[in-house]
Amino acid sequence: MSHDVIRARLNLYAVLPNLEDVVREDPEMRELVSDARVTVKLLVAGGPRAYVRFANGACSVGRGSGPEAAGAPAGSRAASSADANAMPSVILSFASASHLNNMFDGKSSPIPLWGFNRLGFLKNEFTELSDRMAYYLAPTAELLEHPGYLAMNTRLTLSTAAFAVPVLLESDPECRALRHAIGSGTIVLKVLPDGPSVSLVCGASGVIPVKGELPHPSSLILMRDMATANAFLNGELDTFVAAATGEVQIWGHVKPVDAIALVLDRIPKYLTPAAEPAAMA
Per-residue model confidence as pLDDT tens digits over 249-262: 999 999 999 999 99
The pLDDT of residue 71 is above 50: no
* Contact criterion met (CB below 8 Å) for 228 and 246: no
pLDDT winner (highest mean) among 86-90, 219-223, 231-235: 219-223
**Average of per-residue pLDDT values in the chain:** 88
pLDDT digits (tens, 9 = 90+) for 189-218: 999 999 899 999 999 888 999 999 999 999
Region 148-155: what's the mean pLDDT? 97
- The pLDDT, as a whole number, for residue 81 is 36
From residue 49, give the alpha-carbon distance in Å to each of 81, 93, 100, 183, 187: 24, 9, 10, 28, 27
Pick the CATH number of 3-141 from 3.30.1050.10, 2.60.40.10, 3.30.1240.10, 3.90.180.10: 3.30.1050.10
- The pLDDT, as a whole number, for residue 64 is 86
The pLDDT of residue 177 is above 60: yes
Please give the model's pTM, rounded to 2 decimal places. 0.88
The pLDDT of residue 278 is above 80: no
- Residues 122, 91: Cα–Cα separation, whole Å: 11
* Contact criterion met (CB below 8 Å) for 165 and 264: yes
Distance of CA 226 to the CA centre of its chain: 19
> What homologous superfamily is domain 173-265 in, according to CATH?
SCP2 sterol-binding domain (3.30.1050.10)
Cite the residue boundaries of each domain of the chain with CATH code 3.30.1050.10.
3-141, 173-265
